[in-house]
């Protein structure tokens, strides 16, 4: 990928990164976890981040890590469900574009999986039910590997189909 294409892709998908990071922040706030720093978008290896205190309970870490999967997916579904004829209106292009770029960033990052894995390792002896979180950690790692095969595009296609077929508003 050329440097121009990298910057163009990053700029075009920036709304998805912003929603991804805000999803982490929302679940931090809902869990009562203090946020120290938020970077909603930047160019570089890490497109954005949320620095927060370590969650006291595993379910808090679980929700914070999987927040983008929940919120980005739900928002994409809603945006895709709003695509109604006539298709020449500017709102249709806006909803379609936002649905795509927000859906592209629904899959939690490897960093999210690593954080959840570390917290699970520290909590598993205090709460044996934490072991149920390990398959989700593995799933996040596998989904990130499959991003090389554009699984995120397939996921957006699934969200589009679900939004158009089952959520007609």
102: Cβ contacts below 8 Å, ≥ 6 apart: 15, 16, 19, 72, 75, 76, 79
Which pLDDT belongs to residue 60? 95
C-beta atoms surrounding 35 within 10 Å:
13
The helix (run of H) or strand (run of E) holding residue 96 is helix 90-104
Higher local confidence (pLDDT), 32 or 84: 32
List the beta bridge partners of residue 25.
Answer: none
pLDDT at 128: 83
Which tokens sit at 145?
A: 């590997």
Rounded to whole angstroms, the Cα distance separating 95 from 107 reads 20
Which distant-in-sequence residues (6+ apart) come within 8 Å of 97 by Cβ?
none
Measure the CA–CA gap between 129 and 127, rounded to whole angstroms.
5
Using an 8 Å Cβ cutoff, are 131 and 121 in contact?
no
How much is the pLDDT for 154?
A: 95
Q: Which two tokens stand for residue 40?
A: 């909603």
Q: What is the mean pLDDT of residues 5-18?
A: 93
Q: Mean pLDDT check: name the lowest of 34-43, 78-87, 141-150.
A: 78-87
Q: What is the pLDDT of residue 53?
A: 95
Q: Is 70 exceeded by the pLDDT of residue 156?
A: yes
Domain locations in the chain as residue ranges: 3-166
Tell me the pLDDT of the chain averaged across its residues: 91
Report pTM.
Answer: 0.90
Q: How far apart are CA 28 and CA 48, in angstroms?
A: 16
Region 34-52: what's the mean pLDDT? 93
Query: Token digits for 137?
Result: 């950690």
Least confident of 24-38, 48-62, 85-99: 85-99
Question: Is residue 90 very low, low, confident or very high in pLDDT (cuts 50, 70, 90)?
Answer: confident
Give the integer Cα–Cα distance in Å for 54 and 138: 21
Task: Give the angle 22-23-24 at the CA atoms, nearest 5°.
Answer: 90
């Amino acid at each position: 990928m050329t440097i121009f294409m990298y910057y163009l892709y990053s700029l075009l998908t920036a709304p998805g990164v912003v929603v991804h990071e805000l999803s982490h922040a929302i679940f931090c706030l809902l869990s009562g976890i203090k946020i120290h720093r938020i970077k909603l978008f930047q160019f570089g290896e890490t497109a954005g981040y949320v620095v927060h205190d370590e969650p006291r309970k595993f379910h808090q870490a679980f929700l914070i890590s999987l927040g983008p999967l929940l919120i980005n997916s739900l928002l994409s579904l809603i945006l895709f469900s709003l695509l109604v004829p006539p298709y020449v209106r500017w709102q249709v292009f806006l909803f379609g574009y936002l649905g795509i770029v927000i859906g592209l960033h629904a899959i939690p990052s490897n960093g999210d999986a690593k954080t959840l894995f570390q917290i699970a390792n520290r909590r598993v002896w205090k709460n044996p039910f934490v072991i149920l979180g390990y398959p989700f950690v593995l799933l996040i790692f596998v989904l990130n590997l499959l991003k090389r095969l554009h699984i995120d595009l397939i996921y957006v296609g699934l969200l589009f189909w679900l939004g158009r077929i089952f959520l007609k508003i």
